[in-house]
Amino acid sequence: MTTLKQQEGGAPSRKGAPRPSGTSSSRGIRKQAAATPWLFLAPYLVLFIAFVLVPIVFGAWISLHTWDYTRPLKPFVGLQNYVELFTPDSRQFANFWGAMQATGIFTLFSVPLLLTIPLAVALLMAKKFPGRNFFRAVYFAPYVLGVAVIGVLWRYLLDNNIGLVNYYMGLVGLPSDIAWTTSTPAAWVALVGVTVWWTLGFNAVIYLAGLQDIPSELYEAARMDGASAWQQFVNITIPGLRPVLSFVALTTLIASVNMFGQSYLMTQGGPGRETRTAIYQIADTGLRNFQMGSAAAMSYVLTLFLIALSLLVFWLFRERKDGR
Amino acid sequence: MNHPKRSLRGRLRAATALGAVALLGLTACGGSGSEQAASEFTGEYDGPAVELSFWNGFTGGDGPFMETMIEEFNAEHENIKVSSNTMQWADFYQRLPAAVTAGEGPDVGAMHLDQLSSMAARNVIVPVDDLTDTLELTGDDFTQEVWDAGVYQDERFGIPLDVHSLAMYYNTEHFEKAGITEAPTDAASFEDALKKLQAAGYDTPFWMPSLWPSHLMNLSLQWQNGNEPYDAEASKANFASPEGLEAIDWQRGIVEDGYSPSNVAIDSQYVAFKNGETSITWDGIWQLNDLEASGMSYASAPIPTIFDEKAVWASSHNFFLPRQAQPDPDKANAAKVFIAWMSENSAEWAGSGMIPARESVRAEGALEGMPQEAIAEDIDSMRFLPPVPGIGQVQTETLEVGVNKAVLGEESPEDAMTEAADNASTLMEENKASFGE
């Protein structure tokens, strides 16, 4: 439903795992408790198995059927649901790939903005100035709101005939008749813009934590060597933030690919079907039209794309051993 | 999804696989066929005290009236306590099948007429023929169309509570300034009114929505032009027939002639009407209470007959009984007592802006002095969607998309509606196959 609602916040620690020491007491703990790690993991494992692993397997099983859960017969159809997604003259084909394209467009434009703007905000917020906490709160505040709130709010603000956005744009001499929610590409500008406004606070907070982890001695040393602000940014800040960057890039990517609520509430997938994202199409197919098998197949295809993209991000942010 | 073009080999493979799966016992879930609600209904309930859960989607101006009626029912019946669970209709139609399939369905509910056959075909609801027999309810007390639309495969699944249609609302202050004394009734007087309103300074007097309720306007116009949007066998959509295209052309024409701004987003034509930014709007009669509460000066009238026949889209709230995993005869009987009482007392429901479905209730003066009185006079010209399983899905997937594209000017009305009609015909064929008609 929402984007960017990760449970696990916080930057990964930069410090490595503590080395096991050779004292007798720690050896005793290790001996007595082969089961200890499992016990610690148990609550999470139970949830993981019940709500992640089982649904994954069951979903794959469903995708091999014509599965309408209200009907007694759910005939096995093998890979037919997948084949239809890749057969240009099937009814699902155009809808699904149109939705995949919409998801692609949204991801392409939202991810770079959600990587760079929060970084700029975090760099500003890391400086000491009066009212800093107030501004930090201002940037984070929208993230607290649910997607239903921001969707309805912006639907009215962006309405091209009665909304405030066009009204104010007209007052300052800008075009005042842009159809923000009923025409493309304006609808994409609106959806990406609202999403950036809504979620940049989360990424900014993580960047901020990462920035504070970079030792200030490095900057001091660089300044003594006469490095400019830009050189400091490129040679200290960016490398220091790398683990944080890869975390932010990955979670932002996943959240953007899973976008649904914004277009469901603000544009209703319109004009026509142009802003129907993949999740929107999957929800419509499975929950409203009862074609669970086809919807499950769609979600597996989407998952494959997401895995491929995630691997690409991992590769881009990998630890480079170039000797410097 | 039972694709009609599936190859023979595909079918054979599927059949073999189905056998294998059945052997594994993995398809063991869901009941078979439709089941009658347990036990004969006697018209009264004198068993032990029961509590009934009643699901509905009366979230708008109609909600408080439903709550009042339930309270009165509870006060009159010592051994029955009805507690209602109200949710958005869109959620309702997703949740109900899931709940019933999981054996957690409500004891009684209300839904729209055009969903009854889908829910019946999905075995979510059970027939209520014994109820109509005991209550001596017959088609004579209802308009034929609303009564017939509750029947699916020779069994009745719904007891109509009300009828609700589109209506025309207009701003009386604007009309006065423009010198219009009577509500327009046909294409000529409607256009005349729009011209006069423009001359009086109301530049865009009739906003044409691009989404809800635009497709309902479109259906009304198609019927007015003698077009059946869905043919009698429910296997073909006719939105793109010459008559159908005239209907959508008229809607797009409102924008092109400058009576409406372009790109009217969802809900904004109604908000604009309440703000006095537009003078006329067509919307459901369920908005009456909301308009009343807003304090604006408005009046309501039937929508004008733009083409040849008097016709307007309408739907109806129907009481139904969900299938129960473990039928409880006491609860089933109590639920029927509840439905019977609500139907007999539906005069009160008129306060919600709806039109009581029963002629006898209307004849007793339920609508006297009510704002919907004038609209109710046209009840015989109200048209309902055919009782075909899956018709709701066909509408959202095809007609709504086509009307949206055409009204926005994204595509020519002809292209948009031809594509929509083709998709709808395919979907209807698929539905027919999957519901085994």
CB-nearest partner of A161 from B211, B268, B396 = B268
Q: Which residue of A has its CA nearest to B204?
A: A161
Q: Do A77 and B27 touch (CB under 8 A)?
A: no
- β B298-301/B162-171 pair status: antiparallel
* CA–CA gap between residue B95 and residue A225 (Å, rounded): 67
What pLDDT, in 10s, does the model give residues A60-112?
A: 999 999 888 888 788 899 999 999 999 998 888 999 999 999 999 999 999 99
How crowded is residue B124: how many other Cβ atoms within 10 Å of its Cβ? Answer: 25
Q: How far is B425 from chain A (nearest CA, A)?
A: 12
More confident residue, B34 or A113: A113
Residue with tokens 């639309």, as numbered in its chain: B149
Q: Is A162 on the interface with B (CB under 8 A)?
A: yes
On the question of pLDDT at A324 being above 60, the answer is no
* CA–CA gap between residue B268 and residue B275 (Å, rounded): 10
What is the predicted ipTM?
0.80
Instruction: Provide the mean pLDDT of chain A.
Output: 87
Structure tokens at B237: 């959509």
Structure tokens at A300: 């597996």
Strand partners, A65: A76
Instruction: Go through chain A and tell me how many residues it has.
Output: 324
What pLDDT, in 10s, does the model give residues A243-269?
A: 899 999 999 999 999 999 999 999 999
Q: Which of A76, A154, A178, A275 should we substitute to test contact with B (largest number of B Cβ atoms within 10 Å)?
A: A76
Q: At A90, which amino acid appears?
A: S
CA distances from A40 to A29, A31, A54, A305, B416 (A): 14, 16, 21, 33, 59
Residue A179: per-residue pLDDT:
92
Residue B414: per-residue pLDDT:
95
Residue A230: per-residue pLDDT:
93
Q: Which residue of B has its CA nearest to A186?
A: B263
CB-nearest partner of A84 from B3, B267, B410 = B3
B45, B79 contact by CB (below 8 A): yes
* CA–CA gap between residue B393 and residue B407 (Å, rounded): 21
Residue B22: per-residue pLDDT:
39
Q: How far is B26 from chain A (nearest CA, A)?
A: 10
Contacts of A72 in chain B (CB under 8 A): 27, 29-32, 123
Residue B346's closest CA among B125, B35, B146, B69?
B69
For chains A and B, CB pairs below 8 A equal 123
A203, A115 contact by CB (below 8 A): yes
Q: Is B260 on the interface with A (CB under 8 A)?
A: no
Q: Which of B1, B268, B278 should we substitute to test contact with A (largest number of A Cβ atoms within 10 Å)?
A: B1
Contacts of B1 in chain A (CB under 8 A): 66, 81, 84, 92, 291, 293-294
CB-nearest partner of B13 from A78, A84, A183 = A78
Q: Is A293 on the interface with B (CB under 8 A)?
A: yes
What pLDDT, in 10s, does the model give residues A122-154?
A: 999 998 889 888 998 999 999 999 999 999 999
Strand partners, B151: B156
On the question of pLDDT at B43 being above 80, the answer is no
In chain A, positions 85-124, which contact chain B (CB-CB < 8 Å)? 89-92
Residue A4: per-residue pLDDT:
41
On the question of pLDDT at A42 being above 80, the answer is yes
Q: Which of B263, B267, B415, B426 should we substitute to test contact with A (largest number of A Cβ atoms within 10 Å)?
A: B263
B398, B328 contact by CB (below 8 A): no
What pLDDT, in 10s, does the model give residues B86-119?
A: 999 988 998 999 999 999 999 999 999 989 999 9
Q: Which residue of B has its CA nearest to A95?
A: B397
Contacts of A78 in chain B (CB under 8 A): 10, 13-14, 17
B293, B101 contact by CB (below 8 A): no
Q: Which residue of A has its CA nearest to B3?
A: A90
Rounded mean pLDDT, B312-319: 95
* CA–CA gap between residue B161 and residue B355 (Å, rounded): 9
Residue A321: per-residue pLDDT:
64
* CA–CA gap between residue A135 and residue A205 (Å, rounded): 12
Q: What are phi and psi for residue B302, nearest 5 degrees?
A: -60, 155
B406, B217 contact by CB (below 8 A): no
Q: At B60, which amino acid appears?
A: G
Q: Is A289 on the interface with B (CB under 8 A)?
A: yes
**B124: Cβ–Cβ under 8 A, 6 or more apart, which residues?**
A70, B96, B97, B100, B101, B105, B322, B323
Tell me what percent of the residues of chain B surpass a pLDDT of 90: 59
B225, A142 contact by CB (below 8 A): no
Torsion of CA B430, B431, B435, B437, to 10 degrees: -80
pTM of the model: 0.84
Q: Is B97 on the interface with A (CB under 8 A)?
A: yes
In chain A, positions 229-268, which contact chain B (CB-CB < 8 Å)? 268
Q: Which residue of A has its CA nearest to B4?
A: A90
Q: Do B30 and A161 touch (CB under 8 A)?
A: no
CA distances from A290 to A324, B118, B224 (A): 57, 11, 33
Q: What are phi and psi for residue B210, nearest 5 degrees?
A: -95, -20
Q: Do B404 and A289 touch (CB under 8 A)?
A: no
* CA–CA gap between residue B27 and residue B88 (Å, rounded): 32
Q: Which residue of A has its CA nearest to B267?
A: A156
Confidence of residue B316 (pLDDT cuts 50, 70, 90): very high
Contacts of B5 in chain A (CB under 8 A): 89-90
